């Protein structure tokens, strides 16, 4: 038999098998999507055979391939200790912050000759005591190469005094100065303008923020509460080293 014909036949069979697998995968996704009221795009095969990861907004869970069972929990690789679901949450947090955009944050960055080594997003409330304590040391964070990007999360909710203070800070001519004054407990002029405060508050709720300050580290990890400058610098260095080690171990050439 002609060798080219044999090769063509093998490739045709492989393509047909792949098409069949894709069709079967689509059917499974459709079934799960209907059961859980999500879209097929929110569903993907997981690292565990027979389970599909389902993402609804910023929440994750797992469904069996027959669409009969759903697991509201985290997936962990018991052999390696890899926190699979949490890794996906980290990536999702970072994606959400990228979508929000730096232009919707109030940024306090190190000034030259100090270089920025780490960027930390902080969900903050103007009236929160520990948020105020963190901000009182902003120069110390910057001195360690830590850039702080503030995202508003008025804990008392929309249309409350803390919310209106956040709006006034955002609408000030000098947002950094206004935020610093407000966090010192000083009164700033009330102002209204188009602002991202409501959007940021909702993002915080969607990401599960329930207290402030809430820090989102460069790897997407969340760190709740006030962390002194020295401790935060040490934590950032540790997590960066861990991420580098993990990247090397997961590399096919590692």
Angstrom distances, CA of residue 71 to CA of 199, 207, 213: 30, 20, 31
Instruction: Tell me the pLDDT of the chain (254 aa) as tens digits.
Output: 445 434 344 444 333 333 334 446 788 899 898 888 899 999 999 999 999 999 988 899 999 988 889 999 999 999 999 999 999 999 999 999 999 999 999 999 999 999 999 999 999 999 999 999 999 999 999 999 999 999 999 999 999 999 999 999 999 999 999 999 999 999 999 999 999 999 999 999 999 999 999 999 999 999 999 999 999 999 999 988 887 766 545 555 54
pLDDT at 18: 33
DSSP annotation of 224: E
Place of tokens 């509460």: 225
Q: How far apart are CA 175 and CA 128, in angstroms?
A: 18
Nearest to 233 by CA among 150, 153, 137: 137
pTM, whole model, 2 decimals? 0.82
Q: How far apart are CA 63 and CA 67, in angstroms?
A: 6
- Which domains does the chain possess? 23-75 (3.10.450.70), 102-249 (3.40.30.10)
pLDDT at 11: 40
pLDDT at 27: 87
């Amino acid at each position: 038999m002609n060798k080219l014909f044999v090769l063509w036949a093998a490739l045709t069979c492989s393509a047909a098998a792949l098409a069949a697998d894709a069709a079967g995968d689509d059917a499974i996704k459709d079934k799960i999507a209907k059961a859980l009221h999500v879209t097929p795009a929110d569903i993907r095969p997981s690292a565990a055979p027979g389970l599909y990861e389902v993402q609804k907004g910023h929440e994750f869970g797992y469904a069996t391939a027959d669409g009969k069972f759903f697991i509201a929990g985290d997936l962990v690789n018991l052999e390696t200790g890899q926190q699979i679901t949490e890794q996906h949450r980290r990536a999702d947090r970072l994606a959400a912050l990228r979508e929000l955009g730096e232009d919707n944050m109030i940024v306090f960055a190190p000034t030259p000759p100090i270089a920025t080594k780490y960027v930390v997003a902080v969900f903050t409330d103007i009236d929160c005591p520990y948020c105020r304590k963190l901000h009182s040391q902003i120069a110390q964070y910057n001195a360690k190469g830590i850039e702080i990007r503030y995202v508003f999360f008025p804990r008392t909710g929309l249309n409350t005094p803390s919310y209106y203070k956040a709006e006034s800070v955002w609408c000030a001519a000098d947002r950094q100065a206004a935020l610093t004054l407000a966090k010192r407990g000083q009164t700033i002029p009330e102002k209204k303008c188009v602002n991202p405060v409501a959007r940021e508050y909702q993002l915080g709720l969607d990401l599960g923020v329930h207290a402030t300050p809430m820090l989102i580290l460069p790897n997407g990890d969340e760190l709740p509460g006030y962390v002194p400058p020295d401790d935060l610098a040490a934590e950032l260095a540790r997590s960066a080293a861990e991420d580098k080690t993990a990247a090397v171990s997961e590399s096919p050439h590692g």
